[in-house]
Amino acid sequence: MLLPLLDDARRVIDVGSGGGMPGLPLKIARPELALTLLESDQGKAAFLVHAAAVLGLDVEVVAEPAELAAHGPLRETFDVAACRALGPMAVVAELCLPFCRVGGRLLAMRTEGSHVAAETVGALGGGQIQVLPAPSRARTRGVIVAVTKVAPTPARFPRRPGVPRRRPLTPPSRNL
């Protein structure tokens, strides 16, 4: 589902990779991708290292929370930040957009449409929000929420680990 949306992307990060979806299938389909799998759970990260080795895939696995990794050398270096089942769209935007370079894209796999204020996405450096139909055999209501990064993400984002989930961003007039 994400493959046609990658266009000419060279560097991709799968945020909250879990069992490797969507990152590992993307790497299998596009071996030339420089793929980073970001997973905060140490056990899941170890599984990803093992799975990549068994599959013969050259990937980087980073075992760190997105809230911390986004303030290091991975910040704003990726053409695409992809995710699946990461949380509400306000949380997804805060955790993923800091990894995208300006001109890059966030591609979030969702089971249905998502509500996030354009002002919230804009405050994180994102532009227009597109909801693209992406049904599959398993889900008739699947969509991909795509956001192009149009400006750098302010240094204060993402907030400390756990804060984005406990207090998702609302439009700037309320909490930014």
Give the model confidence (pLDDT) of 24-48 as tens digits.
Answer: 999 999 999 999 999 999 999 999 9
Order of strands across the sheet with 60-62?
A: 60-62, 34-38, 11-15, 78-84, 100-110, 143-149, 126-133
Which residue in the block uniquely carries the two structure tokens 């991708």?
A: 33
What's the DSSP call for residue 138? Answer: S
Predicted structure pTM score: 0.94
For the chain, what is the mean pLDDT? 93
Give the model confidence (pLDDT) of 52-109 as tens digits.
Answer: 999 999 999 999 999 999 999 999 999 999 999 899 999 999 999 999 999 999 999 9
**Which H or E element spans position 62?**
strand 60-62
Q: What are phi and psi of 143, to 5 degrees?
A: -140, 165
Q: Are 93 and 106 in contact (CB under 8 A)?
A: yes
Structural domains present in the chain: 3-166 (3.40.50.150)
